[in-house]
């Protein structure tokens, strides 16, 4: 790679990108809309005392409607953030602060397979003695036991946090059923839908979700922008101060180009999601078949019948994933798990929560296909992995 114009440019134009769970390639149509907004709709959306500000404000309103449409929510329920991590933090801490104002020590329930944004936020609050915390266990496919979840919801908890789809193994959770259980016991339900929006149907209103977090860069939009969708009537306290924007919940000048990009990405996913995800699943299945045929002892992790279309988390129990990454990093963009923890020298917390064997965890590799992945790339990626893993085994 080299530096060019202040940025890093890969010198390997032939590299195959299979890290779409970490971030998707920004759709060129979205990039064009962002560029035109940057150069033409440059006003501050809060500065509506002149027409330039009015144009920016209108652009935000139009984008908000596009986002609301893809998740079947109301425009008035959307709060823009820098991404899903901030959205999750606002949803959890904002709820907790509101309850603490009522002199209640909140009790939160989460799953052991949640994203670190949920786990770390809740663990920090527990360490500060601000909450009681219950962690639901996951099975070997990262599923949750709904009967246990219902018992926990009936035990006087104040917030339930369950993701819509797992960011490592791709397991899709029964959000509609979970929301119904939470509603039955009057428990607010925060759903981390970061990996799900634009890939599977989400019905915020019909399912009774209380809060929902999403990020643009997981659905072919730009990095640095996301949203927290908050059902009308759910009370949050802000965790940032300094302005009255977005009803005071998230002060600061709105990222108009990013929001417009998120809106366009959502519009395109609504139009193309079904067809795209079907095609992605076929390519994923082809890659899985090729790898199973070419790598003896290969393990497929997670629920192969109920996962995101682009997800393929494999393990080669006798081959450390670090050895594979070292050999393919200039050819394939793949990962060993969540991008938020892949630089940390510790086993995947998701696979650990699933109770998988240590050698399976140490040999895990996450392959994430997207709408821009081609059949030729799938075939080449399989050849590279099969060849390199064979070479590593010969050295062991």
- Positions marked active-site: 340
Contact 221, 26 (CB under 8 A): yes
Tokens of 330: 């200039």
The C-alpha atoms of residue 216 and residue 269 are separated, in whole angstroms, by 11
The C-alpha atoms of residue 179 and residue 149 are separated, in whole angstroms, by 11
Could you write out the DSSP letters of every residue in 69-89? HHHT--GGGEEEESSHHHHHH
**What's phi and psi for 391, nearest 5 deg?**
-65, -40
Neighbours of 149 (CB within 10 A): 19
Buried b / exposed e over 200-239, threshold 16 CB at 10 Å, is: bebebeebbbbbbbbbbbbbbbbbbbbbbbbbeebebbbb
Tokens of 384: 């590279």
Distances (CA, A) of 183 to 27, 179, 187, 207, 346: 37, 6, 6, 9, 37
Cα 2–Cα 38–Cα 71 angle in degrees, nearest 5: 100
- 307 beta partners: 171
């Amino acid at each position: 790679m080299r530096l060019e114009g202040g940025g890093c440019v890969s010198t390997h134009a032939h590299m195959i990108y299979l890290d779409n769970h970490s971030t998707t390639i920004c759709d060129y149509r979205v990039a064009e809309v962002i560029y035109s907004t940057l150069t033409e709709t440059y006003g501050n959306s809060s500065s509506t005392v002149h027409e330039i500000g009015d144009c920016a404000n209108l652009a935000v309103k139009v984008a908000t409607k596009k986002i609301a449409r893809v998740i079947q929510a109301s425009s008035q329920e959307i709060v823009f953030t820098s991404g899903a991590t901030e959205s999750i933090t606002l949803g959890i801490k904002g709820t907790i602060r509101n309850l603490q104002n009522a002199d209640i020590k909140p009790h939160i329930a989460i799953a052991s397979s949640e994203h670190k944004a949920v786990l770390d936020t809740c663990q920090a609050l527990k360490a500060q003695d601000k909450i009681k915390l219950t962690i639901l266990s996951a099975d070997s496919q990262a599923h949750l036991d709904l009967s246990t979840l219902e018992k926990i919801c009936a035990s006087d908890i104040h917030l339930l946090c369950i993701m819509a789809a797992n960011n490592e193994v791709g397991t899709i959770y029964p959000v509609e059923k979970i929301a119904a259980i939470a509603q039955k016991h009057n428990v607010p339900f925060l759903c981390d839908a970061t990996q799900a929006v634009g890939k599977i149907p989400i019905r915020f209103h019909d399912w009774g979700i209380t809060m929902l977090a999403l990020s643009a860069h997981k659905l072919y939009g730009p990095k640095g922008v996301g949203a927290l969708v908050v059902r009308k009537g759910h009370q949050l306290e802000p965790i940032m101060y300094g302005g009255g924007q977005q009803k005071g919940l998230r002060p600061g000048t709105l990222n108009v180009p990013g929001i417009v990009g998120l809106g366009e990405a959502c519009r395109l996913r609504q139009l193309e999601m079904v067809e795209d995800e079907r095609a992605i699943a076929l390519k994923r299945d082809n890659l899985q078949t090729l790898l199973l045929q070419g790598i003896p002892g290969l393990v497929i992790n997670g629920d192969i019948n109920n996962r995101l279309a682009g997800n393929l988390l494999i393990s080669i129990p006798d081959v450390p994933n670090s050895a594979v990454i070292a050999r393919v990093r200039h050819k394939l963009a793949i990962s060993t798990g969540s991008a938020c923890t892949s630089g940390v020298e510790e086993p995947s917390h998701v696979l650990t929560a699933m109770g998988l064997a240590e050698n399976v965890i140490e040999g895990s590799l996450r392959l994430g296909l997207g709408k821009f992945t081609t059949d030729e790339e799938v075939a080449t990626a399989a050849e590279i992995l099969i060849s390199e893993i064979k070479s590593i085994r010969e050295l062991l």
